[in-house]
Structure 1
Amino acid sequence: MRKTYSRSHANRGAVLERLIDMTNQQYRNKGVADIRKIPTPVQITKHNGRTVTGYTTKGEWVDYVGVRDGKTIVFDAKETSNRTSFPLDNISEHQYEILNSWHEKGAQSFLLVSFTKLDEVYLLPAKLLQLYWEDARNGGRKSIPYVVFVTECDLIKSDKGYVLHYLKSV
């Protein structure tokens, strides 16, 4: 019997981010790359001795940035429980703008997209994201079909001792 569970909004992406963080630590330890998670901004509302009260604020950036072989890497991690497509509304306007801008300036820019119910993670290059984003802006489809990930993106797996060896596809 398969156990189902519900994750709160705050924990969405936590599993994927943990896998990426472990992989990034492995990359650093082996001298392959230095890629770091950008911390989520927090607005402190009250500080009373040991107790701090606050809330997370809307980030102005993407999840990860780093360098490998002198080349900038910038990406975001996204999860979807949808089996047939990845909804573009999972990406905020500012995240798309950053990924697109850095891609146009020569950075390796992409999304790591986890289809949680299929237990699959794909690397979606910024150039391909741009095609679907612009089409959606012009009244087209508001999601990227799963088949596009299967046929045009790299499936990211554990490989060569790395938890989620995404740099293999960059």
Structure 2
Amino acid sequence: MIYQSEQQARQGVKSHTHAHRGKFLERVIDIANTKYRNAGLADIRKIPTPVQIKHDTGREVIGRKEKAEWVDYAGVCNGRAVVFDAKETRGKNFPLKNLHDHQYELLKSWYQKGAISFLLVYFKELDKYYRLPFKPLCAAWEEAKNGGAKSIPIATFEAEACEVKSMDGYTLHYLLPYL
């Protein structure tokens, strides 16, 4: 069954560990990406966290996560590169500390080269998803670097981002304007 919200998916679950933060959003995006691929509209893939293998016995692999240098997702849609990071937040703002420098720099670099570059943010308390284009993200990032607000308020998302919804059989139809 496909759930429309995290609240529906978590009914009956009493605790939510830090380790599983973002898993609901990733699952929803991965289902949408499979539908985009199957329809021949886009090919967007989750970028796995790199792991350094320390020991391999043949039956068991021991390793550690390396420092990630990428965003969550990358691919192609209608001949254009697509890169984005997916984030969940509580409350009515998106703390910029949730986006790492290397993620911002990658989004910026690809945007400057013509890629579709954005943040996909899930506001848990509001149960709303927004696709924030790189331009308003850049403006907020630069403002924060210069001593301004360290978060992006929901009002900015409502004014400059696009609310993304479940529609046409997609769990989250986030690529709609690019198709």
Q: Do both proteins adopt the same fold according to a TM-score greater than 0.5, normalized to the shorter chain?
A: yes
Runs of 4 or more above 4 Å deviation: 2-5
Give the CA deviation at 1:47: 2.1
After superposition, residues 1-80 of structure 1 pair within 5 angstroms as 5-80=14-89
- State the Cα deviation string for residues 144-164 of structure 1 (Å, max 9, x = none): 011111222111111111110
After superposition, residues 116-135 of structure 1 pair within 5 angstroms as 116-135=124-143
Task: Tell me if structure 2 keeps the 8 A contact 1:43–1:55.
Answer: yes
Q: Please, what is the CA RMSD of the aligned residues?
A: 1.5
Give the CA deviation at 1:45: 2.2
The whole-number CA distance in structure 2 between the counterparts of 1:58 and 1:8 is: 21
SS class of match (1:159): coil
Structure 1: which amino acid aligns with 2:162? D
The whole-number CA distance in structure 2 between the counterparts of 1:128 and 1:169 is: 17
The whole-number CA distance in structure 2 between the counterparts of 1:62 and 1:5 is: 30
- State the Cα deviation string for residues 46-90 of structure 1 (Å, max 9, x = none): 222312222222211111111111111110101112x12100000
Give the CA deviation at 1:5: 4.3
Give the TM-score normalised by the residue count of structure 2: 0.88
After superposition, residues 108-147 of structure 1 pair within 5 angstroms as 108-147=116-155
Matched residues, number: 168
In the alignment, which residue of structure 2 is the partner of 1:152? 160
- Structure 1: tracts of 5 or more residues without a match: none
- Structure 2: tracts of 5 or more residues without a match: 1-10
SS class of match (1:50): coil
In the alignment, which residue of structure 2 is the partner of 1:164? 172
Which of 66, 90, 93 is matched with 2:98 structurally?
A: 90
Structure 1: which amino acid aligns with 2:159? T
Give the CA deviation at 1:6: 3.8
Give the CA deviation at 1:3: 5.8
Give the CA deviation at 1:4: 6.7
Give the TM-score normalised by the residue count of structure 1: 0.93
Give the percent of matched residue pairs that are identical in Structure 1 and Structure 2: 56
Q: 1:67–1:134: structure 2 CA closer, same or farther, 3 Å change rule?
A: same
Task: Tell me if structure 2 keeps the 8 A contact 1:121–1:157.
Answer: yes
